[in-house]
Structure 1
Amino acid sequence: MHRRIIIGALGAAAPALIGLRPAAAQPKNPAWPRALNMGTAAPGGTYALYGPAWGQLAQEATGVQISYRTTQGPNQNIILVQRKEVELGMVTMGVALQAWNGQGDWTQGNRFRDIRALFPMYDTPFHGIALKSSGITGHAQLAGKNVGVGPRGGTPGTYYPLILNELGARPSAIRFGSASDMAGQLQDRLLDAFVFASGVPVPAFSELEVQADVNFLDFTEEEVRKLTAKFPEMAAGSLPVGTYRKQERPLRIVGMYNFAIAHKSLPDDLVYEITKSVLGQNARLKAAIAAASETLAENWSKNTFLPFHPGAARYLREVGQQVPDNLVAA
């Protein structure tokens, strides 16, 4: 029997936000749109929980109804925001850099220049999980194995094939799919390992460790040096003991930051209120999802190239952040 790990996007985030007042029936400014759409990601990843958590705060503050579109992750979110099929989204900065410069196969040489940064979200660590019975404890052992990497259009789906190639650990097969689907396939031994990149704790990893004995896969010091030299958008880091219940030691990782984005056409005052509603209520957001502990105004500096929306920059400067003019664009 194939066991699926299903984590509802609203189901996990909403209980911690029960104290929110119902959103106003009308936008608080009649010039604002009545509704916005947000691109999130597939079930089992952090975006599926984080998006509705900050969306509820923004909806309460503005009276603008926000709905959520399940996507493959950052790549698709960028495409959809560029086309104005959704107005809000979430991205990792490595994928955003590819989009801005038109690099990476998925961009087909197109430069996505209508996206704007709103606020910093959290760091995305690359790490993996395998059943303890597999004997797999590190990335080097993934050579010749069946490995799941999450949705094709997500950050891990984009970067993990490159990472494993750089490390000389080429799998016999790379599988794409939602985090919950990858976790189910791992339990059924259709995959040897599931490697991913998301805010921690990764919901699908947390579910897996409850249901099975697992090993968490991190990187050696040499692997970290090799990856950060190859991919300057990545930085070395560590996941402390306690990130996962069955984690026995700190995990050595590489990571890249996540930012919320919007289409450049959104009104400045609306974006100001959205940004203020999220960064100004960190305790409430953190109560909904642990990854929000890093959703702080001072982390704006994790973005060095993607222009901030003027409304977002206004709020950041209002709370003392020195966002330079060359990093703001209408």
Structure 2
Amino acid sequence: MKHLGKFSAAAAALLIAAGVGTAAQADRSQWPQSFTVGTASQGGTYFAYGSGWANLVAETLGVSGGGEVTGGPTQNLALVHTGDLAFGMTTMGPAREALEGRSPLAPGIKMDQVCALFPMYQTPFSITALASSGIKSISDIPAGAKIGFGPAGSTSDTYFPAMLETLGVKFDRRNGGWNDLGGQLQDGLLDVIAFAAGIPIPAVSQLEVQAEVNIIEFTADEQKKVMDAFPVADFTIPASTYKSLNADARAVSMWNFAIANCALPADFVYEVTKVVMENNDKMVSIHKAARTTVKENAVKNTFIPWHPGAARWYKENGIDIPDNLIKQ
């Protein structure tokens, strides 16, 4: 385990089983010497949010740590499972596939060393085009349009193409980091970008500074059709999110959770969870999407096993975590 620090499997197991200790009492000799949080491409919400909470934890606990650019949720699950990353961020769709052994990166391997850490935010699926394109609705997207779906294997790339196919859109699929795709849209190399990221999306905010854009919403019928076919919920993008919006925009969304390698010491994970969950004002200053990074949303996780250290913090703070959903 490259980033989990130096602690034996036996010591980690004892710590996880015990699940006791406070920040002052914790035996830091078993803590990792450093940690890394798997995020996604630069220009996306994962990178800004993940790097921010990694730095907050590092500064508060005095442990070296930071964010790392990755391919996004699907890759983060694999890297956290193997221990190449201590922490990561994922959406619930790819998480279920990974736990059931259906990850496209490792078919047949159940990623049972991935544990839940804390709720993050909902990821809206939203579409952006240049105003000059004349594309104002999903039905306006012409056949063969060049659409950027984010990094290969990301939540956006996994689900958005299938969603648009369900809605009858025929397109030429493109991949890349959000910043790169934003530049390609502005240069006329793409017709549309289909984003799945917490709002406001940095790449969209940057685009608005440089060009006039259309934030394209789902119609009620399109929203229902997608919700019937995919593990998503209804969502509204507030008009205040982007200067290009004159009214709230209809969308769909999927929950995101922070994840941890299950072998991390319980008292270390307890302290990490405490830092994030007890400093929401600081989290919101990192990214506005963190408004929903609160303990009450822990219940949005119904299938990822909770890390014992994280579960202990929630139970101490009035959130009921079912015993059968805590990693043994």
Corresponding position: 1:266 with 2:264 = yes
Give the share of equivalent positions with the same residue, in percent.
Answer: 44
Q: How does 1:212-223 map to 2 (within 5 A)?
A: 212-223=211-222
Q: 2:314 is matched by which residue type in structure 1?
A: L
Cα distance, 1:218–1:106 mapped onto 2, change above 3 Å: farther
CA distance in 2, matches of 1:81, 1:119: 15
CA distance in 2, matches of 1:28, 1:252: 49
Secondary structure at 1:33 match in 2? coil
Q: 1:40 is matched by which residue type in structure 2?
A: T
Cα distance, 1:66–1:104 mapped onto 2, change above 3 Å: closer
* Residue of structure 1 equivalent to 2:160: 160
Corresponding position: 1:85 with 2:112 = no
CA RMSD of aligned residues (A): 1.4
* Residue of structure 2 equivalent to 1:136: 135
* Residue of structure 1 equivalent to 2:325: 327
Secondary structure at 2:127 match in 1? strand
The 8 Å contact of residues 135 and 214 in structure 2, kept in 1 or not, is answered as yes
Q: 1:253 aligns with which of 251, 254, 261?
A: 251
* Residue of structure 2 equivalent to 1:280: 278
* Residue of structure 2 equivalent to 1:313: 311
Note the C-alpha offset of 1:126.
0.1
Corresponding position: 1:193 with 2:198 = no
CA distance in 2, matches of 1:308, 1:144: 43
Secondary structure at 1:146 match in 2? strand
Note the C-alpha offset of 1:167.
1.2
Note the C-alpha offset of 1:318.
1.0
The 8 Å contact of residues 62 and 270 in structure 1, kept in 2 or not, is answered as no
Note the C-alpha offset of 1:56.
1.8
CA distance in 1, matches of 2:180, 2:108: 31
Q: More displaced, 217-226 or 185-194?
A: 217-226
The 8 Å contact of residues 216 and 247 in structure 1, kept in 2 or not, is answered as yes
Note the C-alpha offset of 1:99.
1.0
Q: 2:227 is matched by which residue type in structure 1?
A: T
Note the C-alpha offset of 1:302.
1.1
Q: How does 1:90-109 map to 2 (within 5 A)?
A: 90-103=89-102, 105-109=104-108
* Residue of structure 1 equivalent to 2:148: 148
Q: How many residue pairs align between the two structures?
A: 302
CA distance in 1, matches of 2:110, 2:134: 43
Note the C-alpha offset of 1:300.
0.5
CA distance in 1, matches of 2:105, 2:97: 9
Secondary structure at 1:30 match in 2? helix
CA distance in 2, matches of 1:203, 1:74: 18
The 8 Å contact of residues 34 and 65 in structure 2, kept in 1 or not, is answered as yes
* Residue of structure 2 equivalent to 1:208: 207
* Residue of structure 2 equivalent to 1:29: 28
Secondary structure at 1:42 match in 2? coil
TM-score (norm 2): 0.89
Q: 1:304 aligns with which of 279, 297, 302?
A: 302
* Residue of structure 1 equivalent to 2:57: 58
Note the C-alpha offset of 1:67.
3.0
Q: 1:205 is matched by which residue type in structure 2?
A: V
Note the C-alpha offset of 1:109.
3.1
The 8 Å contact of residues 129 and 191 in structure 2, kept in 1 or not, is answered as yes
CA distance in 2, matches of 1:88, 1:104: 18
CA distance in 1, matches of 2:38, 2:102: 22
Note the C-alpha offset of 1:108.
2.2
Note the C-alpha offset of 1:28.
7.3
The 8 Å contact of residues 128 and 193 in structure 1, kept in 2 or not, is answered as yes
Q: 1:244 aligns with which of 235, 242, 245?
A: 242
Note the C-alpha offset of 1:264.
0.4
Deviation string for 1:114-152 (max 9, x for gaps)? 100000001100001100011111223333211001001
The 8 Å contact of residues 233 and 254 in structure 2, kept in 1 or not, is answered as yes
The 8 Å contact of residues 98 and 107 in structure 1, kept in 2 or not, is answered as no
Deviation string for 1:2-35 (max 9, x for gaps)? xxxxxxxxxxxxxxxxxxxxxxxxx971221111
Q: 1:109 is matched by which residue type in structure 2?
A: G
Q: 2:133 is matched by which residue type in structure 1?
A: S
Corresponding position: 1:126 with 2:125 = yes
Deviation string for 1:253-302 (max 9, x for gaps)? 10001100011000000000000000000011111211111100000111
Q: 1:182 is matched by which residue type in structure 2?
A: L
Show structure 2 runs of 5+ residues with no match. Answer: 1-25
Corresponding position: 1:289 with 2:293 = no
The 8 Å contact of residues 75 and 105 in structure 2, kept in 1 or not, is answered as no
CA distance in 1, matches of 2:225, 2:102: 21
